[in-house]
Amino acid sequence: MSFASDVKGELARLPRGEICCARSELAAALLFSGGIAWRGRGRYAATITTADASIVRRFFAMLKERWGITGEIRALSGDGLNGGTRYQLALSQPDSLALLKALDLLDEAMPFGLRATPTEALTHYSCCRKAFARAAFMMCGEIIQPEKGYHIEITAPTEELGRYLGEQLNYFGINVKNTCRKGKLVVYCKKAEEVSDMLTLLGASRAMLSMENVRVAREVRNRVNRQMNCDASNINRAVSAAEAQIRDIRTIDEELGLDKLPRTLREMAEARAQNPEISLSELGELLEPPIGKSGVNARLRRIAEIADRLRSGEEIELGRPAKGGRPRKAGPDGQ
């Protein structure tokens, strides 16, 4: 079962609601499924066809309970392209006409005497706007499994109907976008929050919660990964800094001899050489007396300077002013 069919199944099992909402739902179901056929001279045949038997059962019950209309449910075998069985709720011609009148979908001025979108009265209340969107989704909706991403869409058979649906959703602050696909208007959202809001609006609260669970789990995982990457790069930085310090110390030892360094720097160099893996603060604690991280940094910087000067072949006499620099004599702190 796909996530989309879970959502449709949940919607199909919701309480059937008031008569006002029943009208909006049925109008949307007929219009979105393209289920109104003109049979000439004021005769129509209304059908609702879907792959989900529970949706057909919902409309069957709704018609019977609200209008006393008993439709016929047929199973249509797959046509090879779509595969699985589809279910069709079919109404007799007199029942079809009665229903179209009850739903205000007839208008002599329109082609085939049929309105392309419902009258304003049909979606006057916000409960009815939701009901309209719910049926549109049941008939023509798709939603991506939350593990794979966030995307919900409803494909309207005509541009006019798609825009009408978009208005109903915008009314609730859901900022849907439109795109054309194979001559049909697709109304969609792809932001996690909007997908979640739309599920709530349609009434699929169970699906919304399972989506939120996936979303929270994913966000936590991303945050942990970011933290780990950050830690890893801090460690890499610390390791390469320590490697450079060890190289400097070795250079000084080979070219000058560590014993030529002022005491504070020599102790620092020895402590680092013996403990290449520890942090600057830990290094500071090894000294006698212990010093802080910034003190360690300062001494290591001086060691690096000395190593650089040795590498560039400069004669070094510690305790004498460096070429163009400050006096190099170490202070009580060796800095």
The binding site for Zn ion (CB under 5 A) comprises 20-21, 125, 127-128
Q: What tokens does 277 get?
A: 């893996």
Q: What tokens does 123 get?
A: 């979606």
Q: Which is nearer to Zn ion, 27 or 280 (CB)?
A: 27
Q: Which is nearer to Zn ion, 125 or 172 (CB)?
A: 125
The residue type at 12:
A
CB of 74 to Zn ion, least distance (A): 29
Q: Which is nearer to Zn ion, 3 or 132 (CB)?
A: 132
92 CB burial (10 A radius; 0-12, 13-18, 19+): middle
Other Cβ atoms less than 10 A from the Cβ of 34: the count is 14
CB of 95 to Zn ion, least distance (A): 23
Question: Which residue shows structure tokens 């079809």?
Answer: 96
C-alpha span between 26 and 103 (Å, rounded): 8
CB of 19 to Zn ion, least distance (A): 8
Q: Which is nearer to Zn ion, 128 or 268 (CB)?
A: 128
CB of 138 to Zn ion, least distance (A): 16
For residues 228 and 220, is the Cβ–Cβ distance under 8 A?
no
Q: Which is nearer to Zn ion, 70 or 126 (CB)?
A: 126
Q: Mapping DSSP to helix (H, G, I), strand (E, B) and coil, where does residue 44 land?
A: strand
For residues 251 and 307, is the Cβ–Cβ distance under 8 A?
yes
CB of 105 to Zn ion, least distance (A): 17
